[in-house]
Amino acid sequence: MQPLTEAEIRGSFTNISELELERMTLPGLHEIVWEDREFLGWRDVHAIHRGYIVFWQDGRPVGMVLKAAGSRTRPGISSMCTLCRTPLPGVQVTLFTAPRAGQAGFDGSTVGTYICADFGCSNLIRIVPPASEMQPDPDALVATRAAGLTARLESFTRSVLR
């Protein structure tokens, strides 16, 4: 992922009000290893049910505000993140809803999907077994997983932007 500045992040959002945009907290951008990410995702430290995703699409950053569901899957139940397709304990995957862009979002129309609660998808797709005769090249496996994650994120974004 290409690095993003604070101005690029704030200017990328399509489904957030001006007031919410002003109140949005940003992660420590100086701490991010950009080359190991397909998107930037974080939870708002002042509003625990609010999350944000920003990624590059068609040469420009696109951002979405998300709201985490208030309830979680009970312990002992497995869930799968829709973006990275990693099976995890249910408490590590959360239903996030995103208001649609424009008037539809202000009228209450949302789109939802299950995502890693900590937005750690980029880290999870990079956990691969060592190469062997039975296992493909780890770098090729990560590239395939990254392409799939990006395609699913773009699909979700298209449904938010409709």
The residues spanned by each domain of the chain are 6-161
Give the whole-angstrom CA distance, residue 156 versus residue 152. Answer: 6
> In the prediction, which pLDDT does 129 show?
80
Instruction: Assess whether pLDDT exceeds 90 at residue 123.
Output: yes
pTM score of the predicted model: 0.90
Residues 6-46 pLDDT 10s: 999 999 998 998 998 999 999 999 999 999 999 999 999 99
Cβ(9)–Cβ(40) below 8 Å: yes
Residues 63-106 pLDDT 10s: 999 999 987 777 788 999 999 999 999 889 999 999 999 888 88
Of 50, 42, 40, nearest to 3 by C-alpha is: 40
One-letter identity of residue 158 = R
> In the prediction, which pLDDT does 77 show?
87
Of 67, 40, 64, 46, nearest to 121 by C-alpha is: 40
Residues in the chain: 162
Q: For 27-151, where are the E strands, in sequence order?
A: 40-44, 47-57, 60-68, 78-80, 87-89, 93-99, 110-116
